[in-house]
Structure 1
Amino acid sequence: MTRPHDAAILELKNLLGPKGWSMERDVLETHNREARGKFEGHADIILFPASTDEVAKAVAICAAHAIAIVPQGGNTGRCGGAVAGQDQVLLNLKRMNRITEIDARDFTATVEAGAILKTIQDAAEEHDLLFPLSLGAEGSCQIGGNLATNAGGLNVIRYGNARDLVLGLEVVLPDGSIWNGLSKLRKDNSGYDLRDLFIGAEGTLGIITKATLKLFPHPKHIATAWVAVPSPEAALDLLALARRTTGDAIAAFELMCGFAHDMSVTHLPNLTRPLASQTDWHVLIELTSSRPTDDLQSLLTDLLGDAMEGELARDATLAQSDAQRKNLWAIREGIPEAQGFEGGSIKHDVSVPVSKVPDLLTRGMAAARDLIPGIRPCPFGHVGDGNIHFNFTQPLDMDKADYLAHWENLNRVIHDIVAGLGGSISAEHGIGQLKRDELAHYASAEKLKLLRAVKAAIDPDNRLNPGKVV
């Protein structure tokens, strides 16, 4: 790739106007800084287009000058997928943030890619509807980035991943042309599903500029409980019991180890322990219903009574107010932040079949302790869909830098176990740069051949987000 020379930069500036670009140092430092701090970008210009037409023309200019372009949303990713290298142009979609339509009859929302996830949730709620994608960064992440990484989050067990929440897309292709697939159709078998090519592709095939999203009836009732369980096996049995007895009213089912729980309530302000008893494993259950006549509190109370009788739970508490519910969720969602108070953390975003989660935890924690004596496992996550954030905190007596030097070795240990259980090394965070070599190591030759063939067919000159995924 050649450096973005003066002629190209002048064309981009003239196209986008004074609000549509920046070469200021503080702006570039903000957008070149990856959220986790593991990767550093080097773009010397960032673009802020205000429309699909501007995105398309900017991409065409970059293509004409053989310049690579890296799309960026809210820059909340965890795998270095939105970081630009030297001589690459960064394109951020934050100015394209309109919600262009909420259709209460079709149960859809049409939005621009730069719309903040929380803004979309709030707009749907104003129409008594629900957009169920929910994750910790929802106050700052952009929907385009959510779709580009096929984000998961807290409600996958009920509503599916981001891919399951999309009906149509508008995408700018590597040559600057526009594919308009903004359909509201629920059924369309007219050829290959192009939409799914771009969801989860991390901007390597095209830049998502708009999306038509599925909406759902807004819940009228919510019931939330914190449960002490004797083991991950008991948690899975409790999940199965809950699905059978609640009519699949489960919106979330989260598993946390005792260490993760203790970190949150110790290090984060204004949090209270849900239970007086100590336990090695905790579950957060949430039921929702849009039917005004449902009594979810009674349903959840009965479920927990059955769980206690069947020795699937040792203790439990039901949230009796919105404040109590928010406290329970703050404990769960505060785990990543709380880990920072305990030193270095090596993190894995993996998934296995739900039935294999106990095997993953047992084997993974034992293998990590054999590799690094004194290591403190901190697994937590969306056990209802098999996605565990299998994190490990440094030993108390080890230097942080020495500990983090074990990152690749610990990755191999955990990812080998995941692969052996038929799982995935990336559940919801994507591949980016962080896991590109791991994907090449674990994916079959046939899969890699297909992935590379798709990339070569759509972006033969490797101009869109090069060096990511494949």
Structure 2
Amino acid sequence: MEASSYPLDPALIDRFAAIVGERHALRSEADIAPHVVEQRGLFGGRTALVLKPGSTEEVSRILKLATETGTPIVPQGGNTGLVGGQMPDGSGREVVLSLSRLNRIREIDLYSNTATVEAGVVLQTLQEAAAANDRLFPLALASQGSCQIGGNLSSNAGGIGALAYGTARDLCLGVEVVLPTGEIFDDLRKLKKDNTGYDLKNLFVGAEGTLGVITAAVVKLFPKPKGRELAWAAVGSPVAALKLFEAANDKAGTALTAFELMEKTPLDFALRHIPGTQAPFAEDYPWHVLIEISSGRSAEDARALMEAILGAGLEAGWVTDAVIAQNEAQAAALRHLREAMSDAQKPEGGSIKHDISVPVAAIPEFIERAGRAVQQVVPGSRVVCFGHMGDGNLHYNVSQPVGMDRASFLSHYRAMNDAVHAVVRALGGSFSAEHGIGRMKRDELIATQPAIATELMRRIKKAFDPAGIMNPDKVI
């Protein structure tokens, strides 16, 4: 479809394009296509223009013009989001703002253990830059080869390392943000202690681009662990996994940097569909955990802690089998097996996703109650449960029954969500642990949170974005 067929004035398109230059203003359908479809195919849209600014100043000029002309702007990072927050709607009026060219690591400060990075820096690039300086940036996601820091912060990404290091919000010390008016809020401070008024940066972290555009951030780095051990253990049940987690926490404390829980089904899917994966054990077991220990003292200390944890688990009967990676190649293979579980669901047909969190102690009860609820909605559904047990966050996904029509199964998406989320609420949990709200969960957020919370969010939105141009109809 030609740009002229979109309800956006061609003269206005030219004005936006002039800010970034024609080379960085995408107008053709072929160039635009990767920016209007997300990886799960649930959300898509239309746009006449994708802008790729090369500086904070260009972002400022774009947003100033957008506010003056009432043009909606949809910020986009690596396009790895799972709730549609980075997608334009179907009107064709919204302009996509890609931050991919803002990809400089401005500074690594080894004294303050910080990195100042632009929004378009790919997560893995930052991880590698930190490692090259004998530091660790602990945010770790399956999409780290393509997701970008701006998107990580805008969605408050979590991942495996959140158990020990927190989410993206916890890793951020300062931000540079362009407001919808074009004003630049430069708060790129490295301070760990700062009580000067409201913590404004945290209004933007997790806001999914609805209040402004994060163009750069100061993030925390950590000393590189002197010893790291990774183990895969088979357990009999979620209750046994919880007991093992309690023991691991007690013995390792802050050295426990990952504790992942996985049911047999996602493991089977990964082994069936993802090349290069290998079963950790010859026998089948119903539940599995992945444990990581990171010691600041020595490799020997990390190994001793891991052996103590697994030894206690075996002695108590919580662990039925276990393997400790003997080298980095084996550790990478085990990490890959865990990370492959998301993509492995696609070949199995329709999948209904849930990104939930409950208090850690409630995980076994949630799994039991949610399992019953799922079968009441669509009998024969296959539960695909895996995730970050250590911080209470599970990816509780449901694959279609074998032989069922995909479209027919997905027609139950809302009913399945309602059933699973009812269990989550009963246990004092959250239906959006780390993926954000976006388009997918906006209505449920408004329907289930206290009315005063919704009203406060709307007041904040209006104060920052009176023209209503920033990522409309997302979050709130």
Calculate the TM-score normalised by the size of structure 2.
Answer: 0.97
Who is 2:86 aligned against? 82
Q: Which amino acid aligns with 2:54?
A: A
Residues 286-330 of structure 1, C-alpha deviations (whole Å, 9 max, x = no match): 111232364322321122111111111111111112221112111
Structure 2 distance, partners of 1:237, 1:460, is 51
Q: Which runs of 5+ in 2 are unaligned?
A: 1-5
Instruction: Please show how residues 2-17 of structure 1 align to structure 2 within 5 Å.
Output: 3-17=7-21
Equivalent pair of 1:252/1:286 in contact (CA under 8 Å): yes
Q: In the TM superposition, what are the counterparts of 1:52-451 in structure 2 within 5 Å?
A: 52-85=56-89, 86-292=92-298, 294-451=300-457
Secondary structure of the 1:317 match is: strand
CA distance in 1 between counterparts of 2:170 and 2:67 reads 32
Q: Deviations over 1:26-48 (max 9, x none)?
A: 11111111221111121110100
Q: Distance in 2 between matches of 1:7 and 1:159?
A: 48
- Distance in 2, matches of 1:300 and 1:40, equals 45
The one-letter amino acid paired with 1:209 is: T
- Partners in 2 of 1:304 and 1:157 — Cα distance? 19
State the partner residue of 2:32: 28
Which one is further off, 320-329 or 358-367? 320-329
CA–CA distance in structure 1, aligned partners of residues 68 and 10 of structure 2: 14
Q: Structure 2 CA distance, aligned partners of 1:196 and 1:74?
A: 21
Q: CA deviation at 1:7?
A: 3.0
C-alpha distance in structure 1 between counterparts of 2:424 and 2:325, whole Å:
35
Say if 2:155 and 2:434, in contact at 8 Å, map to a contact too. Answer: yes
Give the deviation of 1:336 after TM superposition.
Answer: 1.2
Q: Which residue of 1 aligns with 2:3?
A: none
For the Cα contact (< 8 Å) 2:295–2:301, is it kept in 1? no
Verify the 8 A CA contact 1:419 1:442 in the aligned structure 2.
Answer: no
Tell me how far apart the structure 1 counterparts of residues 69 and 396 of structure 2 sit (CA, whole Å). Answer: 43
> In the aligned structure 2, how far is the partner of 1:13 from the partner of 1:440?
36
Which segments of structure 1 move beyond 2 Å, counting only runs of 4 or more? 290-295
Q: Secondary structure at the match of 2:294?
A: strand
CA distance in 2, matches of 1:269, 1:102: 36
Unaligned runs of 5+ in 1: none
**Partner deviation per Cα, 1:52-77 (whole Å, 9 max, x = no partner):** 00000011111111111111000000
> Cα RMSD between the aligned structures?
1.2
TM-score norm. by structure 1 comes to: 0.98
Counterpart of 1:20, as a letter, is H
Summarize the Cα distance change of 1:4–1:177 in structure 2 as closer, same or farther, 3 Å threshold.
farther
Q: How far apart are residue 15 of structure 1 and its match?
A: 1.7
